[in-house]
């Protein structure tokens, strides 16, 4: 049999990151189901957003209005971890928005400010009336609170989200908090190449785990698998403050850099929030390309042509005394207050890969 007896997916032995992977093709279970059944452990796998959306449309046709969807987002990559088409599809259901990895924010950040920001972010969307949960799997009080919410109603609950938002870690934590024994019930939901897995917490509570939706707009996609671990946050966010003169540049190793540009000689403070494993470096604008050429070989980038994509943000008098973040998907953000006119240019070596770079009101 070439289909997993747990979830029904067609097994494959080529790529461990994709659904259906099995160490041997004649194994009864795919690796994901094997880990669930024997170790109460979910492993992260991902699929294309378009494939997920099409299958979710089938789910919506068959599910009752009482079905709940737990929509998990990454606090470090809010914009890029959202799937707008998915949000519109779920507008008629009860949706609980989980903002994950809050434990990795600087300790000085007030959670009330984060909650307010998220509420305002969704205020004009189809999910404007949704419950919002701030989440970390490292503290039992958060996990137990989520478990109690999940078990409060006897409805089917889907856990959905982009890849690397921590969806599998959350479900694993819920299972552990529920003292779930190793024989987790796994059943076939779709006998297709898209893997949805039923997980019984108890006789009245069923979760449905889904593969992570592939993020095509993260800077992590420009690196090899070996170096992608540096793009995903597992430690408290590093904050470095630079007092820059106009026409200075800050490098994130050779992954990208930003230029602080102004026609007049000015100064401005910039707070760089990024992974502690990423080294930053200050240089002059006139030396930036030279610095990049000397250091680009230090990283094994998964791109061929290494063209430089530029993202420009202009701040005029209308921006004075306002605080902003420029978020680079997969890398963190730059926070600053505008007191004079200037321009920020984000430079990213890439070929045809689009990296999500957005300007937002400061989150912290």
**What are the pLDDT tens digits along the chain (364 aa)?**
688 876 767 889 998 877 788 988 888 888 888 887 777 676 767 778 888 888 888 888 888 888 999 999 999 889 889 999 999 999 889 999 999 999 988 888 899 999 999 999 999 999 998 999 999 999 999 999 999 999 999 899 999 998 888 888 898 899 889 887 533 433 333 333 356 778 888 888 888 888 888 888 888 877 766 666 666 667 788 899 999 999 999 999 888 999 999 999 999 999 999 988 888 999 999 999 999 988 887 766 655 556 889 999 999 999 999 999 999 998 899 999 999 999 999 999 887 668 999 999 999 8
Cα torsion through 170, 176, 179, 182, rounded to 10 = 110
pTM of the full structure: 0.85
Angle at alpha carbon of residue 100, lines to 83 and 250, rounded to 5°: 80
User: Considering Cα of 121, then 123, then 127, then 129, what sign does the dihedral take?
Assistant: positive
Encode 256-282: b = buried (16+ Cβ within 10 Å), e = exposed. Answer: bbbbbbbeeeeebebbbbbbeebeeee
- DSSP 8-class letter at 8: -
Q: Tell me where in the chain the CATH 3.40.50.300 domain(s) lie.
A: 31-213
Separation between Cα atoms, residue 93 and residue 148, nearest integer Å: 20
- Angular region, 268: left φ>0, alpha ψ -120 to 50, beta rest: beta
Question: What is the CATH number assigned to the segment(s) 31-213?
Answer: 3.40.50.300
CB 357 within 8 A of CB 219: no
CB 8 within 8 A of CB 29: no
CB 196 within 8 A of CB 56: no
Separation between Cα atoms, residue 143 and residue 96, nearest integer Å: 15
- DSSP 8-class letter at 297: G
Separation between Cα atoms, residue 106 and residue 6, nearest integer Å: 41
β-bridge mates for residue 158, sequence order: 69, 208
- DSSP 8-class letter at 102: G
β-bridge mates for residue 309, sequence order: 348
Backbone angles phi, psi at 114, to 5 degrees: -65, -45
User: Considering Cα of 61, then 168, then 127, then 74, what sign does the dihedral take?
Assistant: negative
Environment class of 159 (CB within 10 Å of its CB; exposed 0-12, middle 13-18, buried 19+)? buried
SS3 135: strand
Environment class of 66 (CB within 10 Å of its CB; exposed 0-12, middle 13-18, buried 19+)? exposed
């Amino acid at each position: 049999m070439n289909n997993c007896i747990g979830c029904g997916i067609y097994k494959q032995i080529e790529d461990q990151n994709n659904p259906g992977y099995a160490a041997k093709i004649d194994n009864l279970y795919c690796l994901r189901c094997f880990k669930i059944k024997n170790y109460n452990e979910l492993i992260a796998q991902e699929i294309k957003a378009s494939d997920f959306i099409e299958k979710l449309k089938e789910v919506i046709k068959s599910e009752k209005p009482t079905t709940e969807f737990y929509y998990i987002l990454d606090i470090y990559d809010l914009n890029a971890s959202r799937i707008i088409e998915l949000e519109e599809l779920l507008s008629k259901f009860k949706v609980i928005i989980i903002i994950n990895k809050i434990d990795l924010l600087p300790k000085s950040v007030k959670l009330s400010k984060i909650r307010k920001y998220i509420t305002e972010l969704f205020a004009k969307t189809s999910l404007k009336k949704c419950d919002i949960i701030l989440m970390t799997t490292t503290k039992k009080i958060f996990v137990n609170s989520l478990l109690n919410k999940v078990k409060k109603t006897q409805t089917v609950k889907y856990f959905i989200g982009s890849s690397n938002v921590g969806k599998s870690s959350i479900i694993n934590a819920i299972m552990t908090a529920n003292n779930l024994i190793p024989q987790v019930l796994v059943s076939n939901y779709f006998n297709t190449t898209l893997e949805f897995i039923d997980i019984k917490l108890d006789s009245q509570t069923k979760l449905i785990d889904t593969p992570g939706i592939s993020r095509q707009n993260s800077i992590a996609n420009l690196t090899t698998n070996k170096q992608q671990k540096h793009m995903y946050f597992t430690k408290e966010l590093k904050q470095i403050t630079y007092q820059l003169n106009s026409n200075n540049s800050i490098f994130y190793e050779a992954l990208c850099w930003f230029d602080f540009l102004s026609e007049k000689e000015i100064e401005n403070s910039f707070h760089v929030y990024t992974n502690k494993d990423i080294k930053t470096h200050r240089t002059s604008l006139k030396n930036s390309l030279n610095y990049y050429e000397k250091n680009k070989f230090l990283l094994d980038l998964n791109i061929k042509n290494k063209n430089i994509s530029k993202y420009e943000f202009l701040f005029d008098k209308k921006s004075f005394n306002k605080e902003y973040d420029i978020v680079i998907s997969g890398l963190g953000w730059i926070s600053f207050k505008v007191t004079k006119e200037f321009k920020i240019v984000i430079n990213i070596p890439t070929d045809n890969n689009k990296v999500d770079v957005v300007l937002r009101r400061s989150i912290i």
